[in-house]
Structure 1
Amino acid sequence: MSTTDENSTPGGGFASVFDTEVVGRWSAPGRANLIGEHTDYNDGFVLPFAIDRRTTVTVGRRDDRLLRVASTFDEGIVEISLDALDPAAMSGWSAYVFGIAWALSEAPNRATAPAFSAAGGDLSGLDLSSATGLDLFIESDVPVGAGLSSSAALESSVAVAMTELWGLDISRQALAAVGQLAENEAVGAPTGIMDQSASLLGRADSAVFLDCRSLDSEVVELGFETAGLEILVVDTHVEHAHATGGYVDRRRSCERGAAALGVGSLRDLDVDDLERAAEVLDDETFRRVRHVVTENQRVLDTVRTLRTDGPAAIGALLDASHVSMRDDFEISVPELDLAVETAQAHGAVGARMTGGGFGGAAIALVPVDRRDVIADAIRASFADAGYRAPTVFTVHAADGARRDS
C-alpha cells in the first residue's frame, strides 16, 4: 500500500470519499525483522523493530452500525455491518480492517487461547453490541510485498483507532493477539504474532525482543546511530503471498517435525537435539527444523552481543541467518541472494533476507559512509543480472502505533 500523492496531508483524501466529520487519525509502522525468521509460529524468539514507514487511518463516526472503508490504493468503498461480522463475509484487503472488528468481538471467546491468555487481562469488556459504525480512510507508505509487514501496520493502526473510539480496555499485548487472530482467520494467512507485536510495541532506536510463547517482551537498544550504522532495505519487487504456497508448507513441516520428535513446538528443542532429529526425520523436514532451532539461538546470541559488544559485532549472525533461510528453510530467491551477497562484498556489517520469504526484501546493516556505495552496487548487480530494478532505501527504528491527531 502506498499513497498516490506523497505530498498530500495524511487523511486528506477522507473528505473526497466520506461526508462524516473526522474525529481522529491513528498510525502504525511496518516492521523490519533484525533476526528471527519463521520462529514466531514455533513459539520461539524474534527481534523485530518498528520502522519509519507507516499506515495512517483517518476515522469518522457514524450514527448507524456500518463500517465503511476506502483507501488511496483501491477505488470505491467497501462496507459491512457490525451485526454481520464474519470471516466468511470478508475478502480482499478490506478483510484486514473488518477482520480487526470481528477479532475484537471474538476475543472474549478465545480468552483461553495461548496468545490471549499469555497477554493477560480481562477480555470480557470487549463488547461491540453498543458500538456505532465508522468511516475509515487508509493510506500508507509501507511497501506491499516487501517483507516489511504492511498488513500488520494496517491492522494495528485500525486496532488502536477502534479500541479508543469504542472505549475498549485492552492491552497492547492482547491487541497484538487480536491482529494475529484477524490475519489467521479473516484474511487466511497463518502468520505468528511477531509483526503485530513490533508494530504495537516498537520504540525509537530499539528492537522488540519477543518470546512468542510467553509473549514477554523487552525493549533492546540497538545503538545504530551511535555506532554510525544504518539498516539498508532492498525491496526486490518479487512479490509473495502468505496465504498461499510455501509459507503454509513450511509451517506444516515444522508441525510435522515437532510431532515426530515428541515436543509441543520446535521451541522445546535446542541445538543439542539436532543429532537426534537427524536420525528421526527425513532430510527435508530435518533441515526445516534445523533452521528454526538454530535461528532461535541466533536471536538469543544477537541480543547478548548487542548488549555486550554493540551492533558492529552482530554481522556474522545476520549472515548465518540468511544462509540458513536459503539452504535449510529454502525460502530465499535469486534476487534476495544477490542483494545479500552484493551488500556483503561491498562493506556491509551483515545482511540477510527478512520477512516470510519467496520474495520481498533483504536488509543490510551498513556503515553510514558506505551506504550509497553499497546501494549503487546492488542496483548495478541487479541490472547486470537482468533483474527488475530494486528499490533501495534506509529505515530507522521508530515508535509503535499511536494517535497522531
Structure 2
Amino acid sequence: MQDGRQLTGWRIQDEGHVRGVQAQPRGDGHGRVASWPVVRLGYRPPATRKRGEVHTITAWSDAEGAARAADLFRATFEAEPDGVWAAPGRVNLIGEHVDYNGGLCLPLALPHATFAAVRRRDDDVVRLVSSLDPEAVWEDPVSSIAPGAVSSWAAYAAGPAWALREAGCAVGGFEAAIDSCVPLGAGLSSSAAIECAVALALDELFGCGYAARGDAGRAALASICVKAENEVAGAPTGGMDQATSLRGASGHALLLDCRDSTTRLLPFDLAAAGLELLVIDTRAAHALGDGQYGRRRAACEAAAARLGVQTLREVTDLDAALTALADDWERRCVRHVVTEIERVKAVARLLDADRPDAIGALLDASHDSLRDDYAVSCPELDAAVDAARAAGALGARMTGGGFGGSAIALIRAGDEAAVARGVQAAFDARGWTRPAFLSAVPGPGARRVR
C-alpha cells in the first residue's frame, strides 16, 4: 500500500509501520507476518454527483449497499455471507465535545451507512476485507485481537469482537467484507458506523442477545462499541457516535443524555418547516487519534477534579467555576462545555415547540464557542461557516470532533445550491480543494438489510 494511494472512496495516510499484524492478499491462502502501516483514514468522496459545479455525496439504498458488500465478500472469500448489516453515520445538530463530560447532545442518524457482509466461521480465525484496499485481507485469530494489537482500519472492524468477548459473549472466528458511503475523515462517524455494523452482525451470529433486548440492549451494545474504539482503535471518544448509529430513527433527532445513556426522540421534519440541513464536507483531514482530542478530554477531566465534581455536567455556577480555576486553558474548556450543554437544552425546547426555524442563533453560538474557547475549528471550517452565513443560512457551525471534517448549515428549502456555491467560491478563492455537500435527513439506525 502506498501513502496517499487513491482507492474506492478511501485514502490511506501512512503514519509509520508496526510488525506482527498478519496480512494476506486475496487468493494467497498462506498467512504471513507483514509490516502493516498504522494509518488514519483520509477522505475522498465515495459517491459524488455533480450539480453544475457542486459535488453532492449521495447515500446508497439498503439494496445497493447490501449488494456492494456481498459482492466484495464473494469475490474475496469465494462464499456467501450469512447476512449483511448496515449502520449509519451521524451528524450532530448541537452538543459538541460534551459526551465525555456527561452532557447532552442532539445528533441524528444519516441515510449514509456502512454495510458489513459477515459469515460465521467454525474456527477462531477472523478475516476482514474492505473497499479501503480490496486486494488485501487482514487475518488473525480472534484471541489475538486486543488493545495495541490491531492497526489500520481493521481496528474498527475487529475491535467489537474483542469488546464482545470482554463482555462475556463467546465470539469466534468470522469473515467480514466492508463497504461504505459514509464520508471518511469528515467528522460524520465513519469509524462508529464500521463498529456498529460489525457488532450488530456478531451479536446476532454468535447469539450475544443484545439487540434482541430492544433499546436497552442497543444501548449496551453501543457501550461495547465505545470500548472497542477507545481501547482497540485508540481513539478516546465519548459515546454519542455509537449511540446514534445504533439507536437513531428516521425522522427524528436523538436527545442523548451521556450521563446515563437515556435518550428521547425529537421530531425533526425540516421539510415540513420549509427548511433543510446542509452538511458541508470541507475535505480537510480529520483524525481523532492524533492527541488533540485526548488533550481536551484530559483538560476537562482535570478541571472537573479541581472543581470537586465527577463530570463538568455537574457544574451549576459557571462564574464560580471559572473563578476557581487558575489555568486559562481549563477555564476555556469548562466555559465551552457548560454553555454548550445549555444550548442543547435550548434547541431541544425549540424542537419540542415545533420551532426549528429558531435554532439558527444557537448553532452560530456553538460554532463560536468551539472556535474561540475549545479551539477545535480550523480555517476550512471557519470559512465554510462564514460563507454559509453570508449566503443566507439561518445558522451554521462545525460538527463532529473538529480539526477538519464537516460543518452544517440550517437553510431555507431551495437555497441549497446558492449556499453551496457560496461556500465553494470561498474555498476557490483560497485555493483549497473544493468541498462536497450532502443533505442531512434523519435515517434509520443500525439494522440487518439482507
TM-score for both structures, normalised by structure 2:
0.83
Residue 373 (structure 1) aligned with residue 415 (structure 2): no
Q: In 2, Cα distance between the equivalents of 1:391 and 1:183? A: 27
In structure 2, C-alpha distance between the alignment counterparts of 1:278 and 1:382, rounded to whole Å: 40
Work out the CA distance in 1 between the residues paired with 2:81 and 2:328.
Answer: 57
The CA distance in 2 between the partners of 1:159 and 1:2, in whole Å, is 23
**Residue 206 of structure 1 aligns with which residue?**
252
For the pair 1:164 / 2:223, whether they are aligned, the reply is no
Match 1:248 to one of 285, 294, 299: 294
Deviates more, 1:251-260 or 1:26-35: 251-260
Shift of 1:309: 4.3
Given the alignment of the two structures, is residue 28 of structure 1 paired with residue 87 of structure 2, yes or no?
A: yes
- Structure-1 separation of matches of 2:338 and 2:326: 14
Deviates more, 1:241-250 or 1:4-13: 4-13
2:78 aligned counterpart, secondary structure: coil
**Equivalent in the alignment of 1:349:** 394
Percent of residue pairs identical: 47
User: Quick check: 340-349 or 294-303, which moved more?
Assistant: 340-349
CA contact (8 A) 2:307 2:324 kept: no
- What residue is the counterpart of 2:408 in the other structure? 363
CA contact (8 A) 1:66 1:133 kept: yes
How many angstroms apart in 1 are the aligned matches of 2:108 and 2:193?
A: 12
8 Å CA contact 2:73–2:80 kept in 1: the answer is no
Distance 2:146 2:354 in 1: 50
Would you say 1:182 and 2:182 are equivalent positions?
A: no
CA positional deviation for 1:305? 0.9
The residue that corresponds to 1:386 in the other structure is 431
CA distance in 2, matches of 1:280, 1:63: 57
Structure 1 Cα separation of the partners of residues 397 and 94 of structure 2: 8
How many residues align? The count is 384
CA contact (8 A) 1:223 1:310 kept: no
1:348 deviates by 1.0
Q: Which runs of 5+ in 1 are unaligned?
A: 108-125
1:2 touches 1:139 (CA, 8 Å); kept in 2?
no
Describe the SS at the equivalent of 2:191: helix
Residue from 67, 88, 94 that aligns with 2:154: 94
Q: Give the Cα–Cα distance (whole angstroms) in 1 for the partners of residues 325 and 73 of structure 2.
A: 58
2:281 is matched with 235
- Aligned partner of 2:200: which letter? V
The verdict on how the C-alpha distance between 1:266 and 1:276 changes in structure 2, with shifts beyond 3 A counting, is: closer
Distance 1:296 1:375 in 2: 29
* Alignment of 1:290 onto 2:332: no
1:352 Cα deviation from its structure 2 partner: 0.4
Q: Secondary structure at the match of 1:343?
A: helix
Whether contact under 8 Å (1:257, 1:281) holds in the other structure is no
Once residues 172 and 304 of structure 2 are traced to their aligned partners in structure 1, the CA distance between those partners, rounded to angstroms, is: 45
Q: Over the residues paired in the alignment, what is the CA RMSD in angstroms?
A: 1.6
Query: Amino acid of the residue matched to residue 333 of structure 2?
Result: R
Give me the whole-angstrom Cα distance separating, in 1, the residues matched to 2:112 and 2:366.
24
Tell me whether 1:258 sits opposite 2:304 in the alignment: yes
Whether the aligned pair in 2 keeps the contact of 1:291 and 1:324 (CA below 8 Å) is yes
- The structure 2 residue matched to 1:127, chosen from 147, 157, 169, is 169
Q: Confirm or deny: 8 A CA contact 2:109 2:244 kept in the other structure.
A: yes
* Corresponding residue number in structure 2 for 1:72: 131
Given that 1:343 and 1:374 are in contact with CA atoms closer than 8 Å, whether structure 2 keeps it comes out as: yes
Superposed displacement of residue 132, structure 1: 4.2
Q: Deviations over 1:175-232 (max 9, x none)?
A: 0000100000001100000000000001111111111011111111112121121111
Please give the alpha-carbon distance, in whole angstroms, between the structure 2 residues aligned to 1:280 and 1:26: 47
Q: Name the structure 2 match of 1:331.
A: 376
Amino acid at match of 1:31: R
Bigger drift between 211-220 and 57-66 goes to 57-66
**Residue identity opposite 2:141 in structure 1:** S
Cα offset, 1:367, TM superposition: 1.2
On the 8 A contact 1:235/1:391 being kept in 2, the answer is yes
8 Å CA contact retained: 1:183, 1:190: yes
Name the amino acid aligned to 1:301: A
Question: In the alignment, does 2:238 pair up with 1:216?
Answer: no
Q: Partner letter of residue 302 of structure 1?
A: V
Greater helix content: 1
| Aligned residues of 1:100 and 1:155 also touching (Cα < 8 A) | yes
In the other structure, the counterpart of 1:122 is none
Alpha-carbon distance in structure 2 between the residues aligned to 1:281 and 1:354 = 29
In the aligned structure 2, how far is the partner of 1:293 from the partner of 1:164? 39
Q: TM-score, structure 1 length as denominator?
A: 0.91
- CA distance in 2: counterparts of 1:325 and 1:104, whole angstroms: 34
Give the Å deviation of 1:279. Answer: 4.2
Q: Which is bigger in relative contact order (C-alpha 8 A, separation at least 6)?
A: 1
Report the alpha carbon displacement of residue 61 of structure 1 after superposing the two structures with TM. Answer: 2.8
Q: Summarize deviations over 1:233-290 as a string: whole Å, max 9, x none.
A: 11111112211231111111111211121111101113x3334423433222101110
What is the SS of the residue equivalent to 1:22? Answer: coil
SS at match of 1:67: strand
- Residue 15 of structure 1 corresponds to 74
- Deviation of 1:133 (Å): 1.9
The answer to which structure has the higher strand fraction is 2
Q: CA deviation at 1:311?
A: 0.7
1:303 aligns with 2:348: yes
SS in 2 for 1:256: helix
